[in-house]
Chains A and B, each alone.
Chain A
Amino acid sequence: MHPQRGQAITARVDAIADLLPLDPAYRSLLLARGAIKGGLLVLLATIGSAFLPLPWWLPIGLALVPAVWLVLVAPIRAYRRAAYACADAQLRVVGGVLFRHDTIVPFGRVQHIDIDQGPVMQMFGLAALTVHTAGEHGASVTLPGLAPARAEELRQTIRAHIRQAEG
């Protein structure tokens, strides 16, 4: 296990505190997304510099700083922050760079489970697991960046637990 991963926001002594990393392909996906975002930002600044009464290099130069952060720093940090645990009858999802979140859902409160594979995710061979609980706002939690087989495995684990509790 990666020793640094426990420091999301909190550290606990239970099994659920042993956070697992997301699939390495997820880092590639985040890097690709970051590159697109950074590229768009520079593109917008370039277009802007043509219309604004400023020296042409000023908007581009100003945009370059956040662009570099978006392309190189944010994806790496996001991947390092993102983690999950599925133990002690709970699912824990941790993530976020500037604004961090750490959510725990007891299996006993799960209403239904989705596995999503968008076109981009398929390119990287990834799937996202979403767990829904009762109620409307913020009542679901999504775990992105899993290998499809692992997502299926997690779903089976949670479903088996629910079936056993109801029976």
Chain B
Amino acid sequence: MSDPADAGAVGTPRRLSPLGILLHSLTSAPQLIVPALAGLWSMKGNAIGTSLFLLFLAAVSVGIAVVRWSAFRYTVERDEIRIEQGILHRQTRAIPFDRIVDVGIEQQALARIAGLAEVTFDSGGGAGEEAKLRYVPLAEAHDLRQLVRGRGSVAASSEAAPEGPDLLFAMGPRRIVTMGFYSFSLVVFAIALAVARRLDFLLPDAWFDPDTWWTSVKHGGESLGSLGLWVEVLAGLAALAALAALGVLSGVIRAVTAWWDFRLERTIKGLRVRFGLLTRRDVTVPPGRVLAAALQTGPIRSRRGWQALQLVSLGGNGEAGAHITAAPFARADEIAAIMDELNLVPPERDLPFGRASAAVARDRFLLGAGLLGGLAVAGWWISPLISLALVFMAAGHGLRTWLHWRRRGRAVSAGQIVTRAGWRRRQILFARKDAVQLVTLTSGPVQRRHAVATLVFGLPSVTAAFEDIPVAEAEAIRDAVLRRIVPVDYAHLAALLAAPREKRAEA
């Protein structure tokens, strides 16, 4: 099957790895639970009947997998890959190499043990157009990727890339565990707390109940003398700490499973990312496909200078999807180095960010607050408590409006549109002007009062919006971007994006 002499042969139909039959049977085993339980119930404890029935089920499931496997063939032709499948309904799908935008390789936990991989061909169109090979030996998966990359359109855009793999960024165990600490999950903490409440028989007597504490304090004079109260307080604190530790632990476990041994390399074909403990992902982004980069951080991690870098790449709704993490948890200088590699201007410390109109933010707040205030007055007749809640809501609304307005920013550089937004989930988006697909200017009644509008740039899989910007400035920016992109046809976009920065600066 995977005879090395045969691997490169053109036009010979090939089969998937027979080991895949076993994997299929094992992974589809959970689907058999319901019929198995139904069968077991009807057998009512007949030992021979039960084992025969289970054997029969297993045989049927393996049988189906074998027939499927034998009906599945794929052929690598000179300029396309053909996949034939189906038992009753035969289907033949041909994918020309030059339509394939990317080849994804993924190894689930079981497949890794067996040395097999799942290969996906992404044709960049709709989600339904891709094709999958489950499973082929890992070496063959890489051969297939090389083959497609070598012949298809992907190769054309990679001429600018330097040679040889080169490690750009990696995360060691220590970094990943640190990341886990910052991923402390309030949700997990809350759930743990709720569960603990249900299981409070495991905890000291009703220590969640404020009454207990109150009585303890009231009768402090009596119980202070005894050690009882302090033991209870200490036990309560210990339990709370244990729950917090659970929240931290869940963050660490998530970070370790998701990002274990994260590596970002420069290869001949572009940037290659590999990561994951149980499911190892392996994605390569050719340089001409990176349209935008997003720098993400949070209010706490940003204090220690931790950021994540996400890339948005052209085409593909498949595995090698539009959003790729190039660095999950990194320092500013590490990120600057990666962005430089991608021809994106690295973030400067003090990028001259323009502010969104403060007058519009104020009017929006007043509008919302006025509405809530009116409701609060009306609600007074029902219950003053409702009014109080509404006033709190108005205050929260004001705080949110202010925090978001302060974070919101926009900047335009030679080749990029830059937006900054979000308070809890902070993001700075660097989008390439060349990749803009359409431009929209919108305005609502409040905005028109202050002669501002929202300018939205639509890129594949991402939008960049300049909110509440003076109309004249918006027009000037829009016209400058349009003058740049109108002469370039989409078909030449990848080549343009792949070109080194110096070359593009001339144009």
Contact = CB atoms under 8 A, between A and B. Distances in A.
B438 A108 contact: no
B437 A105 contact: yes
Contacts of A134: 314-315, 437, 460, 490
Contact of B486 (A88, A102, A141, A166): A88
A109 B485 contact: yes
A35 B304 CA distance: 60
Contacts, number: 95
Interface string B436-467: 11111111110010000100101111110000
B443 A12 contact: no
Interface stretch (A63-71, A93-101, A119-127, A142-150): A93-101
B437 A99 contact: no
Contact of A9 (B436, B471, B486): B471
A101 B444 CA distance: 9
Contact of A139 (B438, B443, B478, B488): B438
Interface string A27-68: 000000000000000000000000000000000000000000
A113 B119 CA distance: 33
B288 to A, nearest CB: 14
Interface in A101-158: 101-111, 133-139, 141
A99 B384 CA distance: 36
A77 to B, nearest CB: 13
Interface residues of A, number: 32
B443 A9 contact: yes
Contact of B441 (A90, A101, A111): A101
Contacts of A109: 436-438, 485, 490
B479 interface: yes
Given A98-B445, A104-B439, A9 B453 contact: yes
A111 B314 CA distance: 14
Scoring A12, A109, A165 by chain B CB atoms within 10 A of each residue's CB, the highest score goes to A109
A20 interface: no
Given A138-B458, A165-B489, A165-B491, A105 B438 contact: yes
B475 interface: yes
A73 interface: no
A10 B440 contact: no
Given A9-B441, A99-B443, A103-B439, A162 B459 contact: no
B437 A103 contact: no
B210 interface: no
Interface in B16-33: none
A108 B485 contact: yes
B487 interface: yes
Given A90-B482, A141-B440, 10 more contacts: A9-B471, A10-B441, A96-B442, A99-B445, A100-B442, A110-B490, A134-B437, A135-B437, A135-B461, A139-B458
20 contacts: A9-B443, A9-B453, A9-B471, A10-B474, A89-B486, A89-B487, A98-B445, A100-B442, A100-B448, A101-B440, A101-B442, A102-B440, A104-B478, A105-B438, A108-B486, A108-B487, A134-B314, A135-B458, A135-B459, A162-B489
